[in-house]
Structure 1
Amino acid sequence: MTDKEFGELARALRKRMTPEERMLWKRLARNQLGVAFRRQEPMRPYIADFVCFEKRLIIELDGSQHAGSEHDKARDAYFEERGYKTLRFWNWEVRNNIEGVLEVIRRAFEES
């Protein structure tokens, strides 16, 4: 896949975010937590759901299809090797406990 195609894929993912991604993005956008996040950010060979470059933090939202995913483990290891911490949340956590999710993210800022 060319860089142009990869960028187009990321743009398409931004346009069709899941309801949970939209819900979290409303709370991450415009530096509401004191740092800038980008959504559906190309980070070859992956596209991160949300990334804060300043804190080297990636946030991934997962549905049930991700349970026990070896692909996700490899992806997390790839980002860790590059100095990023990955936080994973289930979609139901965002739907039912957005404040708790945001608190975990804030604590991760303090650890970085």
Structure 2
Amino acid sequence: MRGNDAGLTKRQLLPANTTARAPDLRRNATETEKRLLRGLRETFPAAKFRFQVPMGRFFVDFCSHSAKLIIEADGGQHAIDAENDARRTRFLEGEGYRVMRFWNNDVLENLDGVITTIAANLPSPLVGEGGAKRRMRGSDSE
């Protein structure tokens, strides 16, 4: 064992196929996932939302570890398997995360509303107060 293996984190104890499955999930993102990821990263850069994050035996759609917030984009299959979603949510909340779920059609038809709802649930330093302002080079016109 290497010296730093003694205190393995939960992430290091993930099931064996996790590292192979995560990139596949990212490569095969749905249109809903792509739009929401773009919206999260553009609107909340300080929150550093990651996509298809392994958490225990589950994968979460979007996770900000710094905000302890998980965002799930749910399709029709989630209406059928609500008990599995409830089990997942209990596990994730037990890990200290807040879980927010949005239907795919809400993301596709009202991304601004979804982003506004998420903003209301981010700790305030992450929604823009006190953070560094980013400027693109050459954008002095504002």
Common fold by TM > 0.5: yes
Which residue type is aligned with residue 82 of structure 1?
E
Higher Cα radius of gyration = 2
Give the 3-state SS of the residue equivalent to 1:108 in structure 2.
coil
Name the structure where helix makes up a greater proportion of residues. 1
1:6 to 13, 18, 22: 18
Inter-CA distance 2–84: structure 2 relative to 1 (3 Å threshold)? closer
TM-score between both structures, scaled by the size of structure 1: 0.90
Give how far 1:29 is off: 2.5
Q: What are the superposed Cα offsets for residues 36-95 of structure 1, whole Å, 9 maximum, x if unpaired?
A: 110001111101100000010000010111015100000000011111000000000001
Give the 3-state SS of the residue equivalent to 2:120 in structure 1.
helix
Say if 2:51 and 2:62, in contact at 8 Å, map to a contact too: yes
Equivalent in the alignment of 2:122? 109
Inter-CA distance 21–78: structure 2 relative to 1 (3 Å threshold)? same
Instruction: Return the alpha-carbon distance in structure 1 between the equivalents of residues 120 and 20 of structure 2.
Output: 33
Instruction: Return the alpha-carbon distance in structure 2 between the equivalents of residues 44 and 105 of structure 1.
Output: 24
Give how far 1:2 is off: 4.2
1:80 to 93, 97, 105: 93
Equivalent in the alignment of 2:7? none
Unmatched 5+ stretches in structure 2: 1-13, 125-142
Does residue 92 in structure 1 map to residue 89 in structure 2? no
1:24 to 36, 39, 61: 36
Equivalent in the alignment of 1:50? 62
Percent identity, aligned pairs only, is 35
Unmatched 5+ stretches in structure 1: none
Say if 2:69 and 2:97, in contact at 8 Å, map to a contact too: yes
Which residue type is aligned with residue 87 of structure 2?
A
Instruction: Return the alpha-carbon distance in structure 2 between the equivalents of residues 110 and 9 of structure 1.
Output: 31
Which residue type is aligned with residue 38 of structure 1?
R
Instruction: Return the alpha-carbon distance in structure 2 between the equivalents of residues 72 and 17 of structure 1.
Output: 20
Equivalent in the alignment of 1:15? 27
Name the structure where strand makes up a greater proportion of residues. 1
